[in-house]
Amino acid sequence: MEKHHKFSIGYILLAVWGVLILQNMLTSALSIQTIPYSEFIRLLKQNKITEIAISANQIQGKKLMDDGKTELFRTVRVDPDLSNMLEQYHVTFKGEVESTLLRDLLSWFMPILIFFGIWYVIFRKMQGAQAGFMMLGKNKAKIYMENELDVRFDDVAGVDEAKAELVEIVEFLKQPERYTRIGGKMPKGILLVGPPGSGKTLLAKAVAGESKVPFFSMSGSEFVEMFVGLGAARVRDLFVQAKEKAPCIIFIDELDALGKARGFGAMGGHDEREQTLNQLLVEMDGFDSRVGVILMAATNRPEILDPALLRPGRFDRQVLVDRPDKKGREDILRVHLKKTPVEPDVDVEKIAAMTSGMVGADLENLINEATLLAARKDKETVGMAEFTEAVERIIAGLEKKNRLINPDEKKIVAYHELGHALVAMALPGTDPVQKITIIPRGIAALGYTMQVPTEDRFLMRQSELLNKIATLLGGRAAESIIFEEISTGAHNDLARATDIARSMVREYGMSPKMGQVYFAKGQRSPFLGVAPEGPNEYSEATAQLIDDEIRAIIAAQYEKATELLRQRKPVLDKAAQLLLEKETIEGEELEALIQSAS
């Protein structure tokens, strides 16, 4: 290819400057003769010097030749006294002219060099800024090549059903002819749906790692910028690059940031996010599934996605990456424990039972917390005590043994926590009590009653929900019985009990007066558990009935908890004294006190 050099006036200036210097040097060297100072003295005595010009270090003038013509000369001045002595002893002497060529060149060249250096830096910065502006439309995807992904399906545990769904994608990328020869088409889009931290991104990387294809990873929020049209340009550029490296996988994390249902933005159809979404829909329709480009995305809010994204031909397959069950949590713990030295007493099954509801990210954090606790004790291995403490730390917060509580408050906390524990032990269907402590934890918890479920529960009966409310109200009931007044320590218990009662009435149809009617407003997220606020779709009279029913459920369970604690008041007093002495007691100790009192 022919290269075109840009014209620059700097080259002309540099050439002119060089020519002038050379001309000056040549003129000086050719027309003026340099003679020794002793020769100058001799000519002076012979009256052959016609005129001179004297400077500080040099004498320049004209000398008379034998033919009567004059010639220019110059010589370097020498000290007169020294010249007289040298002439007396017939010594030939001369002055040396110090070469100033290098100094002259530097005095000319350095300013020009500095000027051009500054000009070059400014020009490059301006060029870089212009290029950066032109690069705004380029996608910001992180590209992992085949040899850069070391994640495999063996590194992903607890989501066996999701892995089974994705194995087919891996086989299609490895052996596409196996499916295409009978008319099969590879799914264009795969949507991974699940709660935060459940391993959606890790699964996508595992698919790319098993398939040994390039992996383009980008967040949905990286498409949308303040400049209109940049998001759509980035979508186009992403698909162009992907087609060049096909077969490959494009992964868009947090798709809900980009694919939210259209028509609800503040700027309507001209919203930049909607333009980006429209471009994504067009690209998904446009590329051929036989090319080998698979689009994978992840979200924990599928209910707000635009319906056009979820239709067949775009995201053909939705894969649920749900919270792991007990067996799944065991597998996840074993994967993470491969790099952690543990003691022989560590029971993975027991840890999995203590961590109901936790996802993979929570379990990884749990092991890290246990490792830090062991390192703090200068231990080489992690024991069961560290894992138990890590679970409590994640659920209830950090222990604050230095927080000073006066004896009266400490007594109230002891009876309050034992009220929870005794009611839970007295009612069927409640989680077993493992530990009761009055050591402050977290921001506001002055005590803590730890209940560990024996198994994962996916459904709860009405009686179990009522017993759960009674357990939550047991602390307030114990305060009322012992001190004949109540404190502010039950505010969190009241909030949780009220939420359960409200769900029973409004969502679960567990109120005889309200009947089998769903009164909850908005659409609750299946993974985040939140519902957008909206107007009530029932009358004020119905709202009053709902409030009355919630109040009635709370009152009935409070009476149940109070009655149970009155019956076990001796055990409550004895256990409170033990808890005040030890600050922490195990569930077995409390169970032994109940057995001895009966």
Q: Is 417 a catalytic residue?
A: yes
Q: Under a CB-based contact definition with an 8 Å cutoff, are residues 549 and 505 in contact?
A: yes
Ordered per-residue pLDDT tens for the chain, 598 residues: 444 444 455 555 666 566 566 556 555 555 677 888 778 777 877 777 777 776 767 777 788 887 778 888 888 876 666 456 545 645 454 555 455 556 566 666 677 777 777 777 776 666 554 444 344 445 555 676 766 777 888 888 888 888 888 888 788 777 777 777 777 777 778 899 988 888 888 888 888 888 888 888 888 777 766 555 677 788 888 888 888 887 788 888 888 888 887 765 444 444 677 788 888 888 877 666 666 778 889 998 888 888 888 888 788 888 888 888 888 899 999 988 888 899 988 888 888 888 888 888 889 999 999 999 999 989 889 999 899 888 888 877 776 666 667 888 889 999 999 999 999 999 988 888 888 888 887 666 788 888 877 777 778 899 999 999 999 999 999 999 999 999 988 888 999 999 999 999 998 999 988 889 888 876 566 666 655 555 677 888 998 999 999 999 999 999 999 999 999 999 999 999 999 998 889 888 898 888 887 6
CA angle 446, 448, 451 (to 5 degrees): 170
One-letter amino acid identity for 437? Answer: T
CA angle 16, 22, 28 (to 5 degrees): 135
Q: How many CB atoms lie within 10 A of CB 121?
A: 10
Distances (CA, A) of 289 to 94, 188, 235: 93, 6, 17
Q: How many CB atoms lie within 10 A of CB 56?
A: 5
Would you tell me the crossing angle of helices 384-396 and 360-376 to the nearest 10 degrees?
120
Nearest to 417 by CA among 387, 462, 448, 395: 448
| E strand map for 120-222 | 142-144, 189-193, 215-219
Q: Record the tokens describing residue 48, joined without a space.
A: 């052959």
> 500: Cβ–Cβ under 8 A, 6 or more apart, which residues?
465, 468, 469, 472
> Which of the 8 DSSP states describes residue 200?
H
Q: Record the tokens describing residue 512, joined without a space.
A: 């005889």
Domain 407-597 in CATH 1.20.58.760: yes
Nearest to 186 by CA among 169, 205, 210: 169
Residue appearing with tokens 């109901």? 356
> 362: Cβ–Cβ under 8 A, 6 or more apart, which residues?
197, 355, 394
> 489: Cβ–Cβ under 8 A, 6 or more apart, which residues?
412, 413, 416, 446, 475, 479
Residue appearing with tokens 């000519």? 43
**What is the Cα–Cα distance from 332 to 327, expressed in whole angstroms?**
9
Nearest to 70 by CA among 105, 36, 31, 108: 31
**What is the Cα–Cα distance from 426 to 564, expressed in whole angstroms?**
7
- Ranges of each domain in the chain: 9-98, 102-137, 142-320, 326-396, 407-597
- The architecture of the domain spanning 326-396 is Orthogonal Bundle (1.10)
> Which of the 8 DSSP states describes residue 509?
-
- Coil, strand or helix at 273: helix
Residue appearing with tokens 């009241």? 494
> 519: Cβ–Cβ under 8 A, 6 or more apart, which residues?
505, 506, 507, 537, 538, 542, 546
Q: Which CATH number fits domain 142-320: 3.40.50.2300, 3.30.1180.20, 3.30.70.120, 3.40.50.300?
A: 3.40.50.300
Nearest to 471 by CA among 510, 431, 507: 431
- List own/partner pairs for 104-109 with CB under 8 A and 24 or more apart: 104/21, 105/21, 108/17, 108/21
Residue appearing with tokens 């409550």? 572
The catalytic residue among 210, 417, 479, 549 is 417
Q: Under a CB-based contact definition with an 8 Å cutoff, are residues 321 and 198 in contact?
A: yes
Peptide bond into 247 cis (omega under 30): yes
One-letter amino acid identity for 257? Answer: A
Distance between terminal CA atoms of the chain? 99
One-letter amino acid identity for 486? Answer: I
Residue appearing with tokens 């040099």? 58
Residue appearing with tokens 């001190």? 483
Is the Cα dihedral 250, 254, 260, 266 positive or negative?
negative
Tell me the Cα Rg of the chain: 44
Residue appearing with tokens 């779709």? 537
pTM score: 0.67
